[in-house]
Amino acid sequence: MLRITELKLPLDHTEAELKTAIAKYLGIAEADIASHLVYKRSFDARKSQMQLAYIIDLDVGSLEKKLLAKFKDDSHVLPTPDTSYHFVGQAPAQLSHRPIVVGFGPCGIFAALILAQMGFKPIVLERGKKVRERTQDTWGLWRKNTLNPESNVQFGEGGAGTFSDGKLYSQIKDPRHLGRKVLTEFVKAGAPEEILYIAKPHIGTFKLVGMVEKMRAEIESLGGEIRFQQRVDDLILEDTPDGNKQIRGVRVTELGVEGHPSSEILSEHVVIALGHSARDSFAMMHERGVFMEAKPFSVGFRIEHPQSLIDKARWGKYAGHPILGAADYKLVHHAANGRAVYSFCMCPGGTVVAATSEEGRVVTNGMSQYSRNERNANSGMVVSINPSDYPGGAMAGIEFQRALESHAYVLGGGNYNAPAQLVGDFLAGRASKDVGTVEPSYKPGVNWTDLASALPEYAISAMREALPEFGKKIRGYDMHDAVLTGVETRTSSPLRITRGDDCQSLNVRGLYPAGEGAGYAGGILSAGVDGIKVAEALAQDLLS
Ligand code: FAD
């Protein structure tokens, strides 16, 4: 196969015109192209005309050698690299040992899937409920102000990304194309094929729910087991002669059984893929002496604008073109006080959601459907913070987050409504009294107030500096009626459960900290990739 990169065509080109352009570029007849497929499609807006830029893989049969020689000095024509996934091993027919995977978010799903595909029949323990039941509980907070601390936006089948925009791109280095394996499995589970080739794919909430169920079914069909409402509340550890520990299993609280009995499940290989909100589990691991350390994260607000304003600023005369869809953006400003202010988890045509997993706290995040056709664009506008802002060791970041979330709950009125303020009032330093032209989408509702006390002063002043700067990049971004809703605290894990090159905890053998909660991923795709890496390391250890 041959690969052509940076082949550019106008937005409205036809399928036939793509083939013509390929043939023209290579100087061959269209009939010489046995087949071609789009590997990647992105937008190129560098000139005044918006274009589509393609990476194409094609089969030209026996012409391939000749063409490679002809284009030997053209870096846009090369042999197609192998991006397919190769398993690192296969389990023996007689399994003596089943690994445990704790958490069934994207990281746990992929760890379990890869282990199952290699024949290791993993046991998955997930504290939350199956995704359909979980959906009802999640809507309970959004519609009726009722939180279920064990079944919500953060906890349950599918993990934190289930009720989300489902953005599936990441900036991680991925020389082995593991991200492609994640996307390929998503397509097998019902995601639209386009996620394999468009530059910034997303799938939206409803599709994710069905996909998660299909992936569960595949793991089970390969001999894996997924046990819901099983919260891991303790690790069974044994001291080793070198002063470290070896994991021997986990203690589980059975939340779905009356009286919540506890039981033990033994295994010497445990993947711990908890997500960033499992604060009780982090505390348990900290008490057990598992090595962990504080790491930087970010806090801020959600900001909402009319989607049409973002489309116009980003796409200009092309706004509304069906191939472009709702526009996203990425913004960053380095404030005079040394803080970086940046857009986080931008959701075009979506809604702001209540994302707390703890009672008496308010946390914001964003989600959308595949169509991205809600009226508002929303994004986190967050400020970087460092462990020096919350001294006190590995667990101090969680207390820092909790204090902000509890205060936001009070500012919101003490009923899970979120505190909100118009951008104009935020910049002028006065409380907002009522909605302007942008209707906030946060459910159950908002309480208009002054957000100045919702974050540390350095974050507020950095944001006040950043907003007019962002307005220069996206005209209208600092419009008076844009809505700020607080607080966005769960941007990533405030700690890292550090692991070695073998993906095992630095001081507990057999324990594989993974995904976002362990500080090794940030987003659905990177969490899935990390799940694969950890599954591979675990399999290699089992096979060695
Ligand atoms: P999680 O998805 O958090 O999964 C961890 C799982 O572990 C949970 O299911 C939890 O119930 C379970 N668990 C925790 N403790 C225990 C225990 N003690 N015992 C048993 N089970 C336990 N990312 C994107 O890339 N694109 C987006 O568009 C996007 N939008 C988002 C929107 C929202 C509203 C939220 C909340 C997040 C969004 N994210 C998005 C972030 C993304 O969801 C996370 O990065 C990703 O889910 C992390 O995957 P994970 O598997 O590491 O952890």
What are the mean pLDDT values of the chain's consecutive 10-residue runs (544 residues total)? 96 95 97 97 83 96 96 97 96 91 98 98 98 93 94 96 87 94 97 94 88 97 98 98 97 96 98 98 98 98 98 92 93 98 96 97 93 94 96 96 98 97 98 98 97 98 98 97 98 97 98 98 97 98 94
Q: Residue 414: is it exposed, middle or buried by C-beta count within 10 angstroms (0-12/13-18/19+)?
A: exposed
CB 499 within 8 Å of CB 338: no
One domain for residues 254 and 315: no
Question: Does residue 92 lie within any of the structural domains?
Answer: no
One domain for residues 124 and 40: no
Find the CATH number of the domain harbouring 213.
Answer: 3.50.50.60
Question: In a mutational test of the pocket of ligand 1, which residue from 127, 130, 344 has the highest number of ligand atoms less than 8 Å from its CB?
Answer: 127
| Predicted interface score ipTM higher than 0.95 | yes
**What sign does the CA torsion over 255, 257, 260, 264 have?**
negative
Tell which of 44, 79, 114 closes a domain: 79
Specify the pLDDT at position 47. 60
One domain for residues 137 and 274: yes
Structure tokens at 237: 């550890």
Question: In a mutational test of the pocket of ligand 1, which residue from 124, 126, 230 has the highest number of ligand atoms less than 8 Å from its CB?
Answer: 126
Q: 455-474 as b/e, with b when 16 or more CB fall inside 10 Å?
A: bbeebbbbbbbbbebbbeeb
One domain for residues 276 and 301: no
Centre of ligand 1 from the C-alpha of residue 118, in Å: 24
Q: Report the nearest-CA residue for atom 41 of ligand 1.
A: 523
Centre of ligand 1 from the C-alpha of residue 275, in Å: 5
Question: Does residue 91 lie within any of the structural domains?
Answer: no
Element (H, E) at 300: strand 297-306
Residue with tokens 């302007």: 436
Question: In a mutational test of the pocket of ligand 1, which residue from 155, 357, 499 has the highest number of ligand atoms less than 8 Å from its CB?
Answer: 155
Question: Does residue 94 lie within any of the structural domains?
Answer: no
Question: In a mutational test of the pocket of ligand 1, which residue from 114, 150, 235, 274 has the highest number of ligand atoms less than 8 Å from its CB?
Answer: 274
**What sign does the CA torsion over 496, 502, 507, 509 have?**
positive
Question: Does residue 105 lie within any of the structural domains?
Answer: yes
One domain for residues 132 and 167: yes
One domain for residues 309 and 345: yes
One domain for residues 474 and 502: no
**Calpha distance 305→440 (Å, rounded):** 9
One domain for residues 192 and 54: no
Specify the pLDDT at position 72. 96
Question: Does residue 524 lie within any of the structural domains?
Answer: yes
**Calpha distance 329→164 (Å, rounded):** 17
Tell which of 488, 506, 529 closes a domain: 488
Q: Report the nearest-CA residue for atom 7 of ligand 1.
A: 103
**Calpha distance 397→382 (Å, rounded):** 16
Q: Is 127 in the pocket of ligand 1 (CB under 6 A)?
A: yes
Find the CATH number of the domain harbouring 68.
Answer: 3.30.70.2700
Q: Specify the number of domains making up the chain.
A: 3
Q: Is 494 in the pocket of ligand 1 (CB under 6 A)?
A: no
CA 404 to chain centre: 23
One domain for residues 457 and 311: yes
Domain that holds residue 73: 2-79
Q: Is 380 in the pocket of ligand 1 (CB under 6 A)?
A: no
Q: Is 107 in the pocket of ligand 1 (CB under 6 A)?
A: yes
Centre of ligand 1 from the C-alpha of residue 12, in Å: 38
Index of the ligand 1 atom closest to the CA of residue 525? 25
Specify the pLDDT at position 277. 97
Tell which of 79, 112, 128 closes a domain: 79
One domain for residues 112 and 59: no
Index of the ligand 1 atom closest to the CA of residue 277? 3
One domain for residues 435 and 368: yes
Centre of ligand 1 from the C-alpha of residue 431, in Å: 34
Centre of ligand 1 from the C-alpha of residue 160, in Å: 3
One domain for residues 287 and 305: no
Q: Is 167 in the pocket of ligand 1 (CB under 6 A)?
A: yes
Tell me 273's DSSP state. Answer: -
